[in-house]
């Protein structure tokens, strides 16, 4: 397959050729007007310009263009060299119980995942996913050079799928990686993912940020979604969980956590801002209990739902359910009361439509979860903008604390 050359680069080279040619012509004319002492210097200049002209013409004809990674402003080789020693393999034994004809039988399953070394207040830790550690025994951490050490779980948060591990490795073995803020990530920004898919240690892939502010469903979080997830195109596989998602500077901007089964180039990561926010609590208390809780069940508004609801508002989060005694219930937010079916999916309409939080527009349930997770804490009061009966109004809601997941 022929590779299409970069049009922008071609135009740039052609422009340079025109300038060089014009300059050479001008200087040639100027030579005729100068004294013999000046002609020698000018002849050298013209010779240099003509040489550069030939070089640019050869480059244009060859069609040489940077590779994809260079076009993206990415130097994968340098990033890998700087980050590889920070990536670890986490292995544990997970006991599962299966009911058989002969009664309950236990089986031992080896769980493999990834993680990366960080430093906090002078101490070293491994950051990984909660689901990599959940139920594990005999935890070991293996470094880039094959050395393995005993690991111990320090703290976990199922709602963000985060886990922190301490390790008995000597300081000479530990190469902490820098964590950057994920708040400035943009769609199209280049990233790389390093982890251990299928136990293949130190594997790297690269791609781009596909979207930010996603919510993902994971059994470890119970009935709640994991908010603010980063969607990216770099291929990941089982074993990548807990690995590092890096920007073009080799800094952590996320922790790879999930991939859509059967899909290619659709991976998800927990943003680094979540790690930064929760890390102190996970290290000192072993948990994080400040996730805000609104106490509703909601659905994305759409044109079809707006028609059923009898409103012209086609964006926002439609409240289908309100948890009795929860924050939304105490504040007077209203749930739906009429069930409808659209394209095979059931909805409960007639409830309030959340269109803003603290004057920030809420376009769908992803935006609702992302705002709450990134800008609010349990116990805070927020201003919820709603559409009720065709009119906009604001309701003050004191956020609660999420109940623990059923598995904890």
Q: Is 192 helix (H, G, I), strand (E, B) or coil?
A: strand
Choice among 136, 157, 161, 273 that is catalytic: 161
Q: Any residues with CB less than 8 A from the CB of 133 and at least 6 apart, and which?
A: 90, 92, 139, 153, 156, 163, 165
Q: Is the dihedral of CA 185, 180, 252, 76 positive or negative?
A: positive
Cα–Cα distance, 89 to 141 (Å, whole number): 6
Q: Is the dihedral of CA 357, 329, 345, 350 positive or negative?
A: negative
Choice among 86, 131, 210, 298 that is catalytic: 131
Q: Residue 153, Cβ neighbours under 10 Å: how many? A: 18
Choice among 114, 210, 228, 241 that is catalytic: 241
Q: Is 322 helix (H, G, I), strand (E, B) or coil?
A: strand
Q: For tokens 């990561």, name the residue.
A: 269
Q: Across-strand partners of 269?
A: 230, 256
Catalytic: 161? Answer: yes
Q: Regarding beta strands 203-217 and 87-100, do their DSSP bridges make them parallel or antiparallel, or are they unpaired? A: unpaired
Catalytic: 241? Answer: yes
Hey, what are 23's tokens? 């300059």
Q: Is 399 helix (H, G, I), strand (E, B) or coil?
A: coil
User: Which element (helix H / strand E) includes 110?
Assistant: strand 103-120
| Burial (CB count within 10 angstroms: exposed 0-12, middle 13-18, buried 19+), residue 109 | exposed
Distances (CA, A) of 208 to 74, 238, 262, 267: 10, 20, 20, 11
Q: Regarding beta strands 338-342 and 225-232, do their DSSP bridges make them parallel or antiparallel, or are they unpaired? A: unpaired
Catalytic: 366? Answer: no
Active-site residue numbers? 131, 161, 241
């Amino acid at each position: 397959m022929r590779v299409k050359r970069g049009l922008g680069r071609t135009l740039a080279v052609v422009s340079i050729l025109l300038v060089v040619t014009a300059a050479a012509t001008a200087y040639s004319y100027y030579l005729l007007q100068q004294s013999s002492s000046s002609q020698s210097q000018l002849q050298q200049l013209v010779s240099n310009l003509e040489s550069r002209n030939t070089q640019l013409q050869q480059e244009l004809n060859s069609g040489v263009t940077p590779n994809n990674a260079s076009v993206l402003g990415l130097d994968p080789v340098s990033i890998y060299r700087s980050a590889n020693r920070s990536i670890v393999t986490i292995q544990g034994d997970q006991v599962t119980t299966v009911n058989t004809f002969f009664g309950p039988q236990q089986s031992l399953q080896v769980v493999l995942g990834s993680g990366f070394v960080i430093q906090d207040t002078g101490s070293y830790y491994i950051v990984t996913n909660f689901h990599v550690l959940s139920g594990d025994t005999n935890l070991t951490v293996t470094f880039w050079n094959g050395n393995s050490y005993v690991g111990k779980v320090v703290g976990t948060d199922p709602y963000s799928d985060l886990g922190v591990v301490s390790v008995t490795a000597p300081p000479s073995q530990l190469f902490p990686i820098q964590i950057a803020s994920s708040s400035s990530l943009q769609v199209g920004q280049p990233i790389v993912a390093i982890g251990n898919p299928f136990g293949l240690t130190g594997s790297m892939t690269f791609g781009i940020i596909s979207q930010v502010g996603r919510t993902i469903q994971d059994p470890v979080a119970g009935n709640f979604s994991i908010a603010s997830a980063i969607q990216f195109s770099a291929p990941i596989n089982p074993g990548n969980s807990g690995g590092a998602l890096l920007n073009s500077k080799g800094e952590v901007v996320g922790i790879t956590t999930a991939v859509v089964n059967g899909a290619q180039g659709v991976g998800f990561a927990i943003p680094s801002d979540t790690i930064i926010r929760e890390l102190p609590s996970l290290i000192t208390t072993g948990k994080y209990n400040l996730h805000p809780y609104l106490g509703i069940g909601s659905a994305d508004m759409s044109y079809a739902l707006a028609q059923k609801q009898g409103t012209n508002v086609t964006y926002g989060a439609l409240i289908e359910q309100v948890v009795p005694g929860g924050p939304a219930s105490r504040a007077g937010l209203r749930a739906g009361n009429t069930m409808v079916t659209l394209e095979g999916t059931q909805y409960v309409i007639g409830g309030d439509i959340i269109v803003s939080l603290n004057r920030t527009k809420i376009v769908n349930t992803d935006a609702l979860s992302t705002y709450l997770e990134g800008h609010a804490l349990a116990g805070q009061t927020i201003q919820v903008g709603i559409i009720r009966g065709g009119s906009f109004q604001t309701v003050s809601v004191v956020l609660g604390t999420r109940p623990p997941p059923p598995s904890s």
